[in-house]
Amino acid sequence: MAAVVTGIGGYLPPRTVTNDDLSRTLDTTDEWIRTRTGIRQRRVVSEGLSTGELAVRAGARALSSAGLSGVDALVVATTSPERLCPAVAPEVASRLGLGTIAAFDLTSACSGFLYGLATAAGLIESGTADTVLFIGSEAFTTLVNPADRATAPIFGDGAGAVVLRRGEPDEPGALGPFDLGSDGALADLLAIPAGGSRQRSADGGLGHASVPTEDWYLRMEGRALYTQAVERMTQSARSALKRADWSVDDVDWFVGHQANIRIVAAVAEELELPDERVAVNIDRVGNTLAASVPLLLNDYAARGELKAGQRVLLSAFGAGLSWGSTVLVWPDVHAEPVA
């Protein structure tokens, strides 16, 4: 048996922050941001919106797309949880009226959607669940230093969701073989130092008092990450294609994590994929971490550019370091446009 995509949905917070908006408080310009990242604007949570609320709205749309009112399990991938404890997934399940189903969070940063797909597929293939709602939801701008011009322009908030059901391996929507990997030796290239048990135990239980303000925000080594992202995504994508017995020529759409337009373009070039087969929406939403890939899928499906029967290659890279890829033939599902 296989896990089959049967519904999709997305949600973006209404507040838009443009590059010009950022340039009023940061030493940067619209041109500087666009030429280095490909981003023109991003959506940002405002008062009353957080990871859980974004997940609920995207999840509801995915359930509607699938024509379901309930599922057997819910998984939420996020690196910006509502609280350190408990997980947000049980609350999301409750708010969606899904009852007392299995619900848990998964953290794998920008690779969260690929890791979460593999996890949700495992629940189905093991017989634990017949249907799973999987949501990537992020309010990551709350964890980025607004005064850091290296990171503040990159990230945006949002949520994307898919519903998976038990099905046959050869039917449209069936998830293909996965390639997943990690390299924890390079974990410090992208990290938030404070807030966890390492910092809390190291400061002798003093809590916030001894922690520098910048340690509460994301730190990023951009140059090293670029090299790792291109190399790892390219290798992972090739591995997934090989396991599926696909060639690059079989791929109609490359849907890569939207971290930086230069990374997406470099991976596509390494794979020898032409620009017209590379999906991109980073210019409008920025890097939404675990929500990136499902939002991109929803975007292209809603616009009719991603059509039933087309072959799709998914790939992502993120903190951890972690990466993953898979393939699928796109099914006939309804996607509602995300404003």
Question: In one letter, which amino acid is 287?
Answer: N
- For tokens 């799973």, the residue is 132
CB 15 within 8 A of CB 46: yes
d(CA 78, CA 290): 6
CB 131 within 8 A of CB 71: yes
208 annotated active-site: no
- Annotated active-site residue in 110, 260, 281, 298: 110
- Annotated active-site residue in 19, 257, 281, 298: 257
Q: Identify the CA nearest to 178 among candidates 252, 90, 243, 97.
A: 243
85 annotated active-site: no
CB 116 within 8 A of CB 77: yes
- Annotated active-site residue in 260, 281, 287, 298: 287
| Secondary structure of residue 192 in the 3-state scheme | coil
257 annotated active-site: yes
Q: Is the dihedral of CA 12, 15, 16, 19 positive or negative?
A: negative
By annotation, the residues acting in catalysis are 110, 257, 287
